[in-house]
Every structure is written in structure tokens, then in C-alpha cells.
Amino acid sequence: MDYFPTMKTSHCILIVDDDDDVLTSARLLLKQHYTKVHTCSDPTQINTILSKLQPDLVLLDMNFTRGVNDGKEGLYWLKRIKEVAAETQVILMTAYGEVELAVEAIKNGAFDFVLKPWTNEKLIATASNALKLGSQSKKVAQLEQTKTNLEENLGLKDEDLISKSPAMKSIMDTISKVSPTDANILLLGENGTGKSVLAMTIHRLSRRKSNPFITVDLGALNENLFESELFGHQKGSFTDAKSDKPGRFEVSNEGSIFLDEIGNLSPSLQAKLLTVVQNRRVTRIGENRERQIDVRLISATNMPIQEMVGTGKFRQDLLYRINTVEIEVPPLRNRKEDIPILANRFLKRFARKYHKGDLYFSEEALDRLIDYHWPGNIRELEHCIERAVIMTDDLEIKSFGLQLSESNGAQPSGLNLEEMEKHLVNKALEKYKGNISRAAADLGLTRAALYRRMEKYDL
């Protein structure tokens, strides 16, 4: 009796057998311990039922044709189940318990093999163990996918939020209050202000901290791949769909998903996202069934999103869904107390990365960092420190080693084209407070072209 679940669980179980008495007795037994138990007497209906119910476990008879007892039908349907739903566990049932058949079934993906007539304790114990293994396998697959996604998203920094700035105090107070809840949060602010680090901090302070944190850069996501990346796809649903793939929402189930640059979504994609956020269900491309999701939504943008609602460029109903709590992140120039802290953290990181020893800043260098305007915010500071670490031959980072413009934004006096271009890009970023789309439009550039120039000039 130790194997019996102490209370009903929400697992879904499907029993497939051509004997109505077997279906009834198995269903009545399992229904005492699991909330969702379904039966099927015709194995040709398995694919349809799998798509509709998405069971965690299938109890499958080995023989369906009268007079045939070789178990080949069970092996055939086992393979079909694993092809359609690889995550589903399968227990085979037969009155003919040849060891060779059991070994072959397990080699083909069955969890275990039970003989008819079964003992109730044995069947419940086997089902319980199969479901435990299924949950563990899903968790491992989910964590592996999470790790891959985190590695792909270079904007995510696995680091703690640090600040001594009064401008950040109210924000940190708000974060401490809302993080333990499941409220959807919208982070606003210029590019490079650390919105991704704030999002990670919110996740770490939440009750979901042991579950996945998935980040998606919507600004860099090709519109044609939007549904596949966020909602997933079925094998063969389009040319490059060579295997089943869960979307980012599925992977982040029971955790948090961070949608960066949400203001860049087109109206059609906003509508698709709204449906998922409202219903908390996703449908993979190529499938007909919906999958329930439980995620905490954190979004961010550097766009004037309230203005965009007024001009019809952003859906008001979607904004209501994503900004239960709205947090405006200040630019680095308004939190100068944090510059030495951040600079020293970056210095230690890059000194370790480039094997440069115990580097430190001169007093003049720190003063220069504090006085600089930082139109590119924390991201620009990070690039500045990395460059200085690479270029230095000494342990002390001096002011000139930072390679910051002495004019700090003044009009260049010469006619050097690169200096003029850098100045114009810098001014546009300042004018629009880091809003890439508006700065690019003012300069007559595409977003990609502006990003290239920002990288070229370390802005």
C-alpha cells in the first residue's frame, strides 16, 4: 500500500484494451488515485485521443485480434505512441508474459510490463513509478531547453542587482513587494539600463525561482519565426521543422518568461500574443490541441508605449494585460552613485576573463567615469571597461585608457567623417533617450544599421 498515492493527482491516464471488463476494472481502480482516467477499446483511435487528451501514461494491451497472442499488435501501437508523444509513458498489459517479449517492449520505449490478471497493488505501484519517471524526464528536458535558451540570449546577465542610488530605492522597494506575487510586470526605460537584470531579480525573488526563467528578444525575432519560437511547432509542420519543438512559453511553464522589446511587435503579432496571455494556452504550429501554461510574464520596452496606444500602434487591451505593475528604470546618468560599483564589478569580471590579474582604477579614471554622460547606459559602461581591460598593459586603469571623449558630447571641432558620424549617432540616442527605432528614423537609418554603428563606436 506504500505505493498508492495518498491523494488524487491531476495526471491523465489512458487505458487501451478490447476487453470491456478490463477497461472497467482498471478505470475504477485508477480513478481512486488519479483525476483523469480515460478508456479506449479501439487502438486505431489512439492517435486522435493522444492529440486531444495528451495523457501522461498509457496502459496498452498487447493483443487486439481474436486468436492472436504474439504481442506484435502491442509493439506496433507502442511504436506509434512514442512517435506521436515521446514524453508519454507506456505500460504494456498481457496474459502472456514471455520474457523475450517484455525485453523487446522495453527496448522499444515501454516503461514496464504487467501480467493479467494483475494485483491492484502491483498495477498502482507500476503506474505511480511510470508517472514519476515521466515527470522527471520532462523536468530534465525542460532544464536542458532552458540552459540552451539562456546561452542563446546574450543580453541576460546572471548577476545580482546592486545599487546605492536614491533613484533606484523606490524601484527596489517595489520589486521586493511585487516579486513574490504572480503580477505581470512591465519594465520601461532606455536601452542598456539593466532591464534584463531587473527581470532576473524579480524571478529570483519569486516563488517560481526554482523553475525556468526564459528570455525572448522580440526586437531581434524574425516575424516569420514568432509563432514557432514562442508557441512551438510539430515535426513536419513546415520545411525546417525536423522535430517537435516546444515554444518558449511551454519551456517556461511554472516559471517566468521575459519578453524584451515588446513595443516592437507588429499589430498582428500583438493579437497572437494577447490570445495566449489571456487564455494561458498555446497551440504548437501543426497541432490542433491546446496546451495549458502557467507562467509569470515580465515585459520590457524602451518605446513610449502609452503614446503608441494613443496612436493605435500598440493594443490597449494587451497593455492592460502586461502592466499590472509598471516600473520606470532610470538611465545611468541619473544614478551616478552606482557607476563606481558597476565599473568595479565589470573590471573584476573582465580581468578574470582576460587573465589580467588584480586591476584597479586610478582616482582620475573613476572621476571620469562618474562625470561622463553615458548615453548608452550600463551597456556602454560595460563595453568601455572591457575595452580598457583588453588594452591596458598595467594593473592601474588610467583615465586616458577609458578612451572616453573629453568633450562628453560637444560638437567635434574637426571634419573627420567618423567623428561626425559618431557625434550624430550619439546626439540622436540622447535626443530620443536611447529609443533605437526613433533615433534610427531620425538619422535615416534602419535599426540594424544603427546597431552596427553603435557597436562600431562602442555606444
> Mind listing the pLDDT tens digit for each residue in 306-352?
999 999 999 999 999 999 999 999 999 999 999 999 999 999 999 99
- Does 203 share its domain with 57? no
Calculate ∠ Cα 131-134-138, nearest 5°. Answer: 145
Among residues 311, 330, 349, the one where a domain terminates is 330
- Does 163 share its domain with 301? yes
- Does 115 share its domain with 179? no
Domain count, the chain: 3
- Does 123 share its domain with 38? yes
Calculate ∠ Cα 11-79-76, nearest 5°. Answer: 115
Q: What is residue 161's predicted lDDT score, i.e. its pLDDT?
A: 65
- Does 183 share its domain with 197? yes
- Does 249 share its domain with 298? yes
Name the residue range of residue 86's domain.
Answer: 9-136
Task: Tell me the C-alpha to C-alpha distance, in Å, between residue 294 and each of 231, 410, 416.
Answer: 13, 51, 55
Identify whether 375 is preceded by a cis peptide bond (ω within 30 of 0): no
Q: What is residue 15's predicted lDDT score, i.e. its pLDDT?
A: 94
Residue 142 in any domain: the answer is: no
Residue 309 in any domain: the answer is: yes
- Does 188 share its domain with 216? yes
Among residues 280, 300, 330, the one where a domain terminates is 330
- Does 369 share its domain with 411? yes
Residue 143 in any domain: the answer is: no
- Does 118 share its domain with 178? no
Instruction: Mark 218-252 as b/e (b = at least 16 C-beta within 10 Å).
Output: bbebeeeebbbbbbbbbeebeeebeebbbbbbbbb
Q: What is residue 143's predicted lDDT score, i.e. its pLDDT?
A: 57
- Does 277 share its domain with 288? yes
- Does 319 share its domain with 385? no
The CATH number linked to 42 is 3.40.50.2300
- Looking at the DSSP bridge assignments, the partners of residue 315 are none
Among residues 301, 330, 359, the one where a domain terminates is 330
State which residues of the chain have pLDDT below 70. Answer: 1-7, 96-99, 102, 136-161, 406-420
- Does 207 share its domain with 68? no
